[in-house]
Amino acid sequence: MLSGHTLKGRYRIYDHLGVGGAATAYLSRDSITGQMVVVKVVHPHLVNDDFIARFQREIDLLQQINSPYIIGLHDWALREYDEAINQTLNYIIIEFVEGHTLANVIDDRAPLAEKDALAITRQLALGLHEVHRLGIVHRDIKSQNIMVTPDQRVKLIDFGIAKGQNQLTITGPSQFTGTIYYAPPEQILEASSVDHRADIYSLGVVLYEMLMGHLPVRARELGTAASRIISGNIEPLQEVTDDVADLVLTMMAPKADNRLDTAMDVVHAIDQIESDAFDVAGLDDLPTPATTMIAQAVIQKEQANLGPQYALITESGQSIVLRGQQITVGRSHPSDPNVPDVDLWALGIEQARTASRRHCRIVITNDGAYVEDLGSMNGTFVNGAQLQPGSLQQLHDGDQLIVGRVVLTFNLG
């Protein structure tokens, strides 16, 4: 378990999200950008030259794709030795997508309304258009690999078995790759020879599943399921309009030559079913995703744990917490509505009357804390040296700051 560990000095790992056949997923936060991300760490026992080649391929493919409907890649590491935990790690850092898997939406809501199912399919087809344009075949389109966000957008995730145009597959011709229940006949018969139309078939299965609430083939035995898929023996569609049924069956034609030829053909076919433009699904009342609640808890915990990084300590031992990026230090006055952030008069400090109303300013940056005199009457001093108005002087832990005649000690908490 890597919870609590930081990768590359910036990706702080918080929660364990799940374990798949190839990797363990963790919720993380990028300390540089502030974004939540997902770290997928490959299981150590799988790491060999062939698997690293496959993992590198996923990285290469994701780097090429730029689509709002496809998961984004942020960073990666191959055979990176981490001294802190004495392990060699292989991982990718991908976009954190708030939402539910489409599989969970189907379990909770299916059958979906035709318009909602078509809206989701249309977005996926637009994502596949970008994938196919780059000569990439996903080969594992299924509802578990699709996220539905709170604003009803969809994203296709997991490119672990995708195949580029000029890349050989690691799996041999006789080794099936993918998920049987979503795979077209040609992928079951010879996985290495499939083209982009395999993804069209699988997307048709996803559309069928949204409309019916179950898969087109429900046999438990994989051999029976494969036989029915190859022969085109699927359960009939029920209670859907003729146009939608025709779309599904054309996408799922057993022979690739009989399917819609491209992902954009799917988009155009959906647009022709109704005059309305299918944009987003009407699933607004979905519950808050568990991953979203985890991310919110992480952010709240971080904010609570950050606490004050800097403080000023008075001669009496009183601690003045410095909050924000620019903190004005000075003395309030009844005739002046502008009150400084650190009001020495309100704090009851005896020498506060010697401070100007806007005496000095403390500036907090990523590099530390700095103090600037604001043209005060009696001057601002750091360790006995007077500051020139308008110039920044960096503060260090234990520095003595004199504001008028008020003596403060800068504290790095």
Please report the pLDDT score of residue 206 as a whole number. Answer: 98
pLDDT tens-place string over residues 308-326: 468 899 998 888 878 767 7
- Alpha carbon dihedral 194, 195, 198, 200, in 10-degree steps, equals 180
Residue in the block written with tokens 């075949």? 137
User: How many other C-beta atoms are found inside a 10 Å radius of the C-beta of residue 323?
Assistant: 14
Q: Residue 51 pLDDT more than 80? A: no
Angle between helices 114-133 and 263-273 (to 10 degrees): 150
**What average pLDDT does the segment 201-218 reach?**
96
**What average pLDDT does the segment 118-129 reach?**
95
Please report the pLDDT score of residue 197 as a whole number. Answer: 96
Please report the pLDDT score of residue 244 as a whole number. Answer: 96
pTM over 0.75: no
The third-level CATH classification (topology) of the domain covering 100-273 is Transferase(Phosphotransferase); domain 1 (1.10.510)
Please report the pLDDT score of residue 403 as a whole number. Answer: 96
Burial (0-12, 13-18, 19+ Cβ within 10 Å), 324: exposed
Domain ranges in the chain are 6-97, 100-273, 308-412
Integer Cα distance of 361 and 402 in angstroms: 13
Q: Residue 192 pLDDT more than 80? A: no
Q: Residue 213 pLDDT more than 90? A: yes
More confident residue, 136 or 283: 136
Please report the pLDDT score of residue 190 as a whole number. Answer: 77
Please report the pLDDT score of residue 168 as a whole number. Answer: 35
Mean pLDDT across the chain = 84
Q: Is 373 a catalytic residue?
A: no
pLDDT class of 292 with cuts at 50, 70, 90:
low
Q: Residue 21 pLDDT more than 80? A: no
pLDDT tens-place string over residues 164-177: 544 433 333 334 44
HEC readout, 129-179: HHHHHCCCECCCCCHHHEEECCCCCEEECCCCCCECCCCCCCCCCCCCCCC
CATH number for region 308-412: 2.60.200.20
The end-to-end CA distance of the chain, in Å, is: 30
Q: Residue 364 pLDDT more than 90? A: no
Domains 100-273 and 308-412 share a fold: no
**pLDDT more than 70, % of the chain:** 85
Please report the pLDDT score of residue 295 as a whole number. Answer: 65
**What average pLDDT does the segment 7-11 reach?**
89
pLDDT tens-place string over residues 97-118: 888 899 999 998 999 999 999 9
Q: Residue 339 pLDDT more than 80? A: no
- Which of the four CATH numbers 3.90.420.10, 3.30.1330.40, 3.30.930.10, 3.30.200.20 does domain 6-97 have? 3.30.200.20
Integer Cα distance of 363 and 365 in angstroms: 7
More confident residue, 191 or 286: 286
Q: Which of 49, 50, 75, 140 is catalytic?
A: 140
